[in-house]
Amino acid sequence: MTLSDQLRDRTVGAVVALTALSLALRLVDLGGRIAHWDEGRVAYWIVEYGETGVLFYRPIVHGPLLKLVNAPLFDLFGATDAVMRLFPALVGGLLPLVALAFRHRLRDAAVVALAGLLALDPALLYYSRFVRNDILVAVFCFVAFAALVRAIDFDDGRYLVIAAVALAVGFGAKENALAYLFAFVGAAGLLAIHRLAFAYFDDRSPISELKGLLRRGFDGVRRRARAIVGSVVAFVAVVVYVYAPRGQLPSKGTYYRSCSGYDPIVGIGGAPTLGEALANPLALPRLAWFTLGSTAELYACQWVTPRTDDPNPYVEYFAELATITGEASAALVGLAVVGFAIALYRPGLPDDLVSFCFYWGAASMVGYPLITDIGGAAWLVVHIVLPLAVPAAFAAAVLYDAGQDARAHEDTVSVAVSVLLTALLVGSVVSTGYATSFDRPTADENPLVQYAQPSAETQATLLDMRTLADRADGTDVVLAGANLSELTGGGELDRRPHCADWFELLPLPWYFEAGDMETECAPDEADLEAALGDEPPVVIAKQADSALVDGRIDDRYDRRVHRMRTTGNEYVYYVDTSRLE
């Protein structure tokens, strides 16, 4: 075995080891954090899909992928916080393996550094332990990019099919896969511009350089036309499969509720579900038309039109996102800037992969504040740091090589500087990752925590509630006061408990469903008196309504106050601790 083969084997071994570490970090105590507001609503709707078998595209919930994967997991392992986060944790945990796809472009040290950054970056770690679609769309789009790079570099059309399928799965996770395509186009444009600029400064004709780029692109498309057509077919087939309605379709009003005041082009009348189309293949074209067309209309109504009709405060959102990115992933961002600068200004042509990924990350930093609908959306950091990990790994490899050269030349000072810088960078990543994901995963001062996160102390009370529900018959939880009892449930989009202000109550409906808890609402004094007469194990009220309960409940109940958001929204839980003994 040659030295090159030995190094390659060591590189693969290091990446596999880092992937194992990545998986371990994402799986340990996966259910230890109480569900965020978003996690609660998504998990509830997964349970609903598992019970009813009814699924159709609802833009506010994002793509159906999580439902399709998590519903069977709930059936196999039970509906718990750990199980609901399992799929994102596995996908995020396996992300370091993608570094091996770039080993023909990056030196071995850079491949290992890239795997390490993908395993340990605090933002990637935190949101791999979180039930949102962002880590899913990010990973699958990154896989698609890696496959596309290999398709171009090795002139192999098989990679195009892999790229198409991965991109389609990314679209199945979340609609902002489209933003990745725009970022790719923007990064490619910037890369072409800087290639032309370098041609000019190297006394080569920019026009000839541009013609060469276009000619190579045209020749590649012509050679791989069949693979491109096959990739398009594969992409469409996967998107249709993921987004196709299942079970039964609701009414037109419910299906198109995101398009209020808009007359849809794609009618719902006569549209088949996936099961009906599989039973009658002649209906497959109609299924594809309805799925793709209605999905595009709903996507535009929910996410595109509001941004054009009512633009967000871009500067404010940009500043918030930049601050969160800097606080959570300072080491990676700093390395990315250094790596890009080294690649751009070192002798010879700049590294296209490093430059492209830096432009991609920069485009994401500029673009996401424009399209987001809320401020402080920390999960968007995932889409920025993932591409920046490539130039960051390039810089880390340069630092490693400098240290090795200094060691070979017995330059003790330079070796010490390299070791110190490496220790500071690794220490920053590890300490921030520990603080954000394990030590303070719900704290307001944690930059990755979005405000709709309940306090950590609530978790113990929820465990007590589940225990009491398992032991009791009849009503398990009474929701006291008008603030929690506004009727919002029922109808085609079922939201239990029907008597409650469902969205205000999140993430509790998820815990009620997962624990099979019977709930009852008591909006006024008379209702509360009647409900307390049955001695429910748990009573919940908002702090503003707690006086309604305090004078009517006996001392068997332990009064616990928990914040249901990071900065307030306090609920009072009255727990009959005598039944826990």
Residue appearing with tokens 């036309």: 225
The Cα 496–Cα 555 span in angstroms is: 30
Residue 486 lies in a domain: yes
Please give the mean pLDDT across all residues of the chain.
90
The Cα 375–Cα 391 span in angstroms is: 28
- At 556, list the tokens: 């068997």
Band of the pLDDT at 110, cuts 50, 70, 90? Answer: very high
Residue 361 lies in a domain: no
The Cα 153–Cα 353 span in angstroms is: 11
Band of the pLDDT at 302, cuts 50, 70, 90? Answer: confident
Q: Decide if pLDDT at 352 tops 60.
A: yes
253-289 b/e (C-beta count within 10 Å ≥ 16 → b): eebbbbbeeeeeebebeebbbbebbeeeeebbeebbe
Q: Decide if pLDDT at 76 tops 60.
A: yes
In sequence order, the 6+-apart residues with CB closer than 8 A to the CB of 62 are: 133, 173, 174, 175
Q: Give the total number of structural domains in the chain.
A: 2
> Could you tell me if 436 and 447 are in contact, meaning their C-beta atoms sit under 8 angstroms apart?
yes
The Cα 140–Cα 151 span in angstroms is: 16
379-416 b/e (C-beta count within 10 Å ≥ 16 → b): bbbbbbbbbbbbbbbbbbbbbbebbeebeeeeeeeebe
The Cα 333–Cα 319 span in angstroms is: 16
If one compares 328 and 61, the residue with the highest pLDDT of the two is 328
Point out the domain boundary residue: 269, 302, 335.
302
Residue 286 lies in a domain: yes
Q: Decide if pLDDT at 124 tops 60.
A: yes
Residue 513 lies in a domain: yes
Q: Closest by alpha carbon to 437, among 61, 121, 67, 104?
A: 121
Point out the domain boundary residue: 282, 302, 322.
302
- Condensed to tens digits (0 to 9), the pLDDT of residues 489-533 reads 556 777 888 888 888 899 999 999 999 999 999 998 999 999 898
77-102 b/e (C-beta count within 10 Å ≥ 16 → b): eebbbebbbbbbbebbbbbbbbbbbb
490-503 b/e (C-beta count within 10 Å ≥ 16 → b): eeeeebbbebbbbe
The Cα 435–Cα 449 span in angstroms is: 12
pLDDT at site 490: 57
Residue 522 lies in a domain: yes
Q: Taking the CA atoms of the chain, what radius of gyration do you get in angstroms?
A: 27
- 505: three-class secondary structure by DSSP: helix
The Cα 335–Cα 560 span in angstroms is: 46
Cis before 122 (ω within 30): no
The Cα 556–Cα 567 span in angstroms is: 30
Q: Decide if pLDDT at 1 tops 70.
A: no
- Condensed to tens digits (0 to 9), the pLDDT of residues 459-480 reads 999 999 999 999 888 899 999 9
The phi and psi torsions of 414 (rounded to 5 degrees) equal -65, -35
pLDDT at site 350: 63
> Residue 403: beta bridge partners?
none
Q: What is the DSSP letter of 436?
A: I
The kind and range of the H/E element at 244 are: none
pLDDT at site 482: 84
The Cα 259–Cα 129 span in angstroms is: 33
- 559: three-class secondary structure by DSSP: strand
pLDDT at site 304: 81
Residue appearing with tokens 């959306």: 377
- For residues 435-447, average pLDDT: 94
- 312: three-class secondary structure by DSSP: coil
Point out the domain boundary residue: 258, 281, 302.
302
Residue-wise DSSP of 259-311? GTT---SS--TTPPPHHHHHHSGGGHHHHHHHHHHHHHHHHIIIIIHHHHHS-
Residue 171 lies in a domain: no
| Residue count of the chain | 581
Q: Closest by alpha carbon to 256, among 306, 297, 201, 206?
A: 297
Strands of 134-281 (E only): list them.
none
If one compares 216 and 49, the residue with the highest pLDDT of the two is 49
- Condensed to tens digits (0 to 9), the pLDDT of residues 241-263 reads 999 999 999 988 888 988 877 78
- Condensed to tens digits (0 to 9), the pLDDT of residues 545-554 reads 899 999 888 8
Q: Decide if pLDDT at 5 tops 70.
A: no
- Condensed to tens digits (0 to 9), the pLDDT of residues 355-412 reads 999 999 999 999 999 888 888 899 999 999 999 999 999 999 999 988 888 888 878 8
Residue 114 lies in a domain: no
Number of Cβ within 10 Å of residue 522's Cβ equals: 27
pLDDT at site 203: 64
The Cα 258–Cα 46 span in angstroms is: 20
Q: Decide if pLDDT at 3 tops 60.
A: no
Q: Closest by alpha carbon to 187, among 22, 50, 319, 363?
A: 363
* Candidate from 63-72, 413-422, 459-468 with smallest mean pLDDT: 413-422
- At 521, list the tokens: 């609402």
Which residue range is the domain that position 263 belongs to? 246-302
Residue 509 lies in a domain: yes
The CA–CA distances, whole Å, from 20 to 13, 25, 143, 244, 418 equal 11, 9, 19, 35, 27
- Condensed to tens digits (0 to 9), the pLDDT of residues 176-232 reads 999 999 999 999 888 888 778 777 666 677 777 677 777 777 777 777 888 889 999
The Cα 96–Cα 16 span in angstroms is: 8
> Could you tell me if 468 and 537 are in contact, meaning their C-beta atoms sit under 8 angstroms apart?
yes
| One-letter-per-residue 3-state SS of 64-96 | CHHHHHHHHHHHHHCCCHHHHCHHHHHHHHCHH
